[in-house]
Amino acid sequence: MTTSTTNATMTVDEAASLAAAAAPHLAASSPSTRAAWLEAVADALDRRVTELVALADEESHLGTTRLTGEVARTTGQLRLFAAVLGDGAFLEVVIDHADAAATPPKPELRRMLRPTGPVAVFSASNFPFAFSVAGGDTASALAAGCPVIVKAHSAHPRLSRLTAEIVIEALHDAGAPEGSFALVEGRDQGTALVQHPAITAVGFTGSLAGGRALFDLASRRPAPIPFYGELGSTNPVVITAAALQGDRAAVLARGLAGSFTLGVGQFCTNPGLVLVPAGSGFAELVAEAANGTAAGRMLTPGIADAYQSGAARAAAHPGVRTLLGGDAEAPQSGVATVLATTAATVLEDPEVLLEEIFGPATLIIEYADESELHAVLAAVGGALTATVHAAPDEDVTELVSRLEPLAGRVLFGGWPTGVAVGWAQHHGGPWPATTSLHTSVGATAVRRFQRPIVYQDTPERVLPEALHESNPLRLPRRIDGVLELPA
């Protein structure tokens, strides 16, 4: 049965008032209770997958295969955070017993992480499910014990409303308090959401310009709040001369072509900068491999316009060669673009040539020697990923030491598009990739919406259950400096 999509949206004031009232109840709920809520939402989305995918395809044109997989990823994220809650380590419980003989005397201190309070989440355009209404930000905030208010993305409004109704109904049926989740729409409502005094943190995935504007709003509030923005990334790839020996060059060219054109290049991990030895001919191989890639429909007219203008601006730069590309034959479409230049040209104008082009484009940068390679890497801004392709026995220790400060994930022998969801994943990086050191994907994403609190000499009857001496929740804890695991 199709659910109406007309009742999910509230005003910011309505949603924030309900969220503020719900926050103490969510904070007091047990991890197992919140895990059940997340499981309920995952089950509800899975039951409606056919309906959700059909509506998502109408609005995004991403195709039913891609979107069906994305629903599975989304429900998988919800279940991952249910497992995080079951594990209990996310609370980081630490207990130091009193020691009057210490110098200075030590009181009893009991420390744990507590939810921050109502969280604002901004949906992304390029992942209508996984980074949207019921995506990773929502899942991790609910897991932390925070009410969530989602600002829907204008690229898929009807899907956002339907997803919100499913989430609200599932949470209600599972016993979550009213106000645990809400949806708002519109640019003005998004601005008001960040500025509302009830909001304690913001999760955002989107453009550098939009994210920076909201980041500044969050910082200028009378009481500034954390803004966890995932904004822009060029995801540099370094290929050594040894990696291009024999037929390996053609294999790598095909791999790169498949990666930067995947999903019409609309991934935040798109490999936009590729550094290769001068004279290798690799750029021509990439253009050959990508030639014939069908132009795809981009998510919105604005994204298509920005891609076309960005690619044209880079192509027009002196010293840049266009090996593949051209004008889009249809509105809102993205044509694969392969550009090539030298490291010396990039270093003359890094602000233009190292700028992200969001879409199916890659810039091949030919370096004459290691000093040029290192100079370009020093000019590259923070990225979500950095990738190395080298010979199996090649010593790339120094190269890795230069890539580590640039990115949150360093890959060997693969391509950065695709972000696995798991306990060890980190999806973040230095500015402008993100505004913080935390991840937006993986188990530790929950840490963004928690804050530490210490209770000193506190009677057990008023302590959170997680800090009781008998450990009734069977949590891993550090007691007087010694890590203890539940039997």
Could you tell me the residue ranges of all domains in the chain?
12-231+437-482, 237-412
Domain 237-412 has CATH 3.40.50.1980: no
**What token pair was written down for 131?**
């980074």
Length of the chain: 487
Nearest Cα neighbor of 353 from 366, 361, 363 is 363
pLDDT of residue 328: 75
**What token pair was written down for 172?**
């209600």
Tens digit of each residue's pLDDT (9 = 90 or more) over 50-100? 999 999 999 999 999 999 999 999 999 999 999 999 999 999 999 999 999
Cα separation, 364 vs 371, in Å, equals: 17
pLDDT of residue 9: 80
**What token pair was written down for 342?**
């030298």
What stretches in the chain show pLDDT beneath 50?
Answer: 1-6
Cα separation, 402 vs 381, in Å, equals: 12
Do the domains at 12-231+437-482 and 237-412 have one common CATH topology?
A: no
Contact (Cβ atoms closer than 8 angstroms) between residue 337 and residue 324 = yes
Cα separation, 436 vs 303, in Å, equals: 25
Q: What is the dihedral of CA 433, 439, 441, 444, to 10 degrees?
A: 180
Number of Cβ within 10 Å of residue 453's Cβ equals 12
Cα separation, 471 vs 280, in Å, equals: 62
Q: Is 230 assigned a catalytic role?
A: yes
Catalytic residue selected from 39, 268, 366, 372: 268
Q: Is 146 assigned a catalytic role?
A: no
pLDDT of residue 15: 97
- Nearest-10 crossing angle of helices 49-60, 157-173: 160
Cα separation, 167 vs 175, in Å, equals: 12
Q: What is the dihedral of CA 420, 424, 428, 429, to 10 degrees?
A: -130
Catalytic residue selected from 165, 230, 356, 366: 230
In sequence order, the 6+-apart residues with CB closer than 8 A to the CB of 152 are 9, 123, 133, 160, 161, 164, 183, 184, 185
Phi, psi torsion values for 120, nearest 5 degrees: -95, 135
pLDDT of residue 4: 36
Contact (Cβ atoms closer than 8 angstroms) between residue 155 and residue 300 = yes
Q: How buried is 286 (Cβ within 10 angstroms: 0-12 exposed, 13-18 middle, 19+ buried)?
A: buried
CATH topology of domain 12-231+437-482: Aldehyde Dehydrogenase; Chain A, domain 1 (3.40.605)
